A and B are shown apart, each in its own frame.
Chain A
Amino acid sequence: MSLRHAALVDGPLPSSLHTPQAVVTADHGGVCSFLGVVRNATKGRVVTALDYEAYAPMAQRVLVELIEETATLHDSALSCAIHHAVGRVAPGEVALAIHCASAHRNAAFASCRHLIERIKQDLPIWKHERFADGGSAWSKGS
């Protein structure tokens, strides 16, 4: 059975969303997780916080579509949970969690890799970086 879930979360992701329990069943022999953690520096400037802004209804829809796309490409029986933070997240806190579970490891790795790359391309979420020197800037992405 496939479990698929995607949601935006206010603030940093709680530790309960860092682990893949929600997608692990006896059908799934391979589970691959990716966590996106806020770094304390970018391009030599000390980061004090990120503020994530989302086009929320489209972001929700894009996440669901990307999970379906991934299942079509890599594993029709994929189980997957994705959560993305919106609002303020501090260095060391988790802003994104992707958990992919498949019968075997190759599909789990490939699905997780595909999802993070597609999220970077298409998820309508923007990070505003706040720096220790008092400045701030919209991230150019990566």
Chain B
Amino acid sequence: MTVTRIEVLLFAQAREIAGRSTIAVTLTVPASVAALRAALAQAHPDLAPLLPTCRFAIEQEFASDDALIAPGSEIALIPPVSGG
């Protein structure tokens, strides 16, 4: 078990709420996406209301809540999309 710093890319309303395009949280790895979601809500309460509606992507692929995050992976928070 190692504690590591995970950087998360932010977009759209999440980026606007946080006022920056990446945020970091510390997690004990291996950590699941669900653990990352919980850690983000705790470390950044202003983002907490948005988080239940968001998905996460690992290495540019959508990841389920039980997916594990490897240190150094590209992690992104994906708010509800509105393309088209």
Contact = CB atoms under 8 A, between A and B. Distances in A.
Are A and B associated in one complex?
yes
Interface of A: 36, 52-55, 57-59, 61, 84, 95-96, 116, 119-128, 138-142
Nearest to B15: A53
Contact of B84 (A36, A58, A128): A36
B9 A127 contact: no
A121 to B, nearest CB: 7
Determine which residue in B15, B57, B60, B82 has the highest number of CB atoms from chain A within 10 A of its CB, and name it: B82
Interface residues of B, number: 18
A58 B82 contact: no
Given A55-B78, A57-B60, A58-B57, A138 B84 contact: no
B78 A120 contact: no
Interface SS of chain B: mixed
Determine which residue in B11, B78, B79 has the highest number of CB atoms from chain A within 10 A of its CB, and name it: B11
Contacts of B79: 126, 138
A56 B60 CA distance: 10
Contact of B82 (A59, A61, A116, A126): A126
B11 A122 contact: no
A123 B61 CA distance: 11
Contacts of B81: 120-126, 141
7 contacts: A55-B11, A58-B60, A124-B78, A124-B83, A125-B84, A126-B11, A140-B82
Determine which residue in B76, B79, B81 has the highest number of CB atoms from chain A within 10 A of its CB, and name it: B81
A36 B79 CA distance: 21
